[in-house]
Amino acid sequence: MRIVFANSAWVSAAERLILRGGGWQSVRLRVRYGLIFHPAAGPVLIDTGYTPEALLGERRGRMLRLYSALLKPQLNVDEQVLPVLRRFGLSLDDIRAVVVTHFHADHISGLSLFRNARFIASDAAWARVKARSSRQNLRHGVFTELFPADFDARLDGISAKPRVAAHGDTPGGADLFGDGSVIAVDLPGHADGQFGLLFNGLDRPLLYAVDVQWLLSALIEKRTPGFPATLIAEDAAAIEPTSAMLRRFLAAGGEVMLCHDPAPTPYDLAPEAA
């Protein structure tokens, strides 16, 4: 099964905000999303990255406008979903499933582009989004205007998927396609309902751990940032135990990838030859 990641945008942050003991200099972070080619489910997207909908869309509320003005993500035009799918001879309508790891803007921004897709996501977290007012959702970092109007009808919740048990230092979770190839692993801490994806069938098992940390060095060197990062976390106390689980997986020979770490990985798309 082929797995690729693209970089939808660049976002800058002072290192000390995302790495305990870091400096004031700014770090240029990626905003990755993934594309897997599953033998039965076909091309499946993992999140959407930032798309113009979150940064320029007419439907944006006042808070989403403010958020993008503060964060100033720079869209990476060449690696937006449409041109990336084109590189593989695909169109937006060929995507029949999008895995949504959590509901932050840089993961759901482009969901409305995919008219034929079901959304594989945490139905428990979605139930909480529906139960909250839009102001309460903002406090959880969820901009509800980014969800397609029929998100609920197209939701394919992970709670109904068969469970795979943990073995040794390999975590268990929900078997998304019923063949053990992609396991949704709960990653509490950063956002309500966040899960990562474990690809077990590779020579070296890969866990895409999304936003457990912004930087791999924060994970590996146990440098989880303190305030104000803890303020925006859904459950700050859960970040360390989740990070420790990832360190055990690494120590046992696994590979961990994050959404925002700036260093290129073997799974990142090579820049297209001009």
Which residues of this protein are in contact with Zn ion, per CB under 5 A?
Answer: 104, 191, 211
Report the residue number, 31 or 158, with the smaller CB distance to Zn ion.
Answer: 31
* Residue whose CB is less far from Zn ion, 164 or 258: 258
Q: In angstroms, how far is CA 199 from the centroid of its own chain?
A: 15
For residue 7, the 8-state DSSP code is E
- Minimum CB separation of residue 102 from Zn ion in Å reads 6
- Shortest Å, Cβ 258 to Zn ion: 11
Q: How far is the CB of 113 from Zn ion (least distance, A)?
A: 19
Q: How are beta strands 42-46 and 97-99 bridged, if at all?
A: parallel
Cβ-based nearer residue to Zn ion, 191 or 198: 191
Residue nearest to Zn ion (CB): 104
Q: Where are the alpha helices (DSSP H) in the chain?
A: 15-18, 52-55, 62-71, 81-87, 105-108, 123-131, 134-139, 151-154, 216-220, 229-232, 236-251
Shortest separation between residue 141's beta carbon and Zn ion, angstroms:
7
Nearest-approach distance from CB 191 to Zn ion, in angstroms: 5
Identify which of residues 100 and 164 has a Cβ nearer to Zn ion in the complex.
Answer: 100
Which is nearest to 227 in space by CA: 25, 12, 3, 16? Answer: 16
* CB of 15 or CB of 211, closer to Zn ion: 211
Kindly state the helix (H) or strand (E) to which residue 97 belongs, with its residue range.
Answer: strand 97-99
Q: Minimal CA–CA distance to 121: which of 144, 151, 101?
A: 101
Tokens 């040794």 belong to residue: 168
For residue 220, which of 248, 183, 188 has the smallest C-alpha distance? 248
CB 219 within 8 A of CB 243: yes
Cβ closer to Zn ion: 38 or 104?
104
Give the shortest CB-202-to-Zn ion separation in angstroms.
25
Q: Taking the mean position of all CA atoms in its chain, how far away is CA 106? A: 8
Nearer to Zn ion, 220 or 232 (CB): 232
Least Å distance, CB 139 to Zn ion, is 14
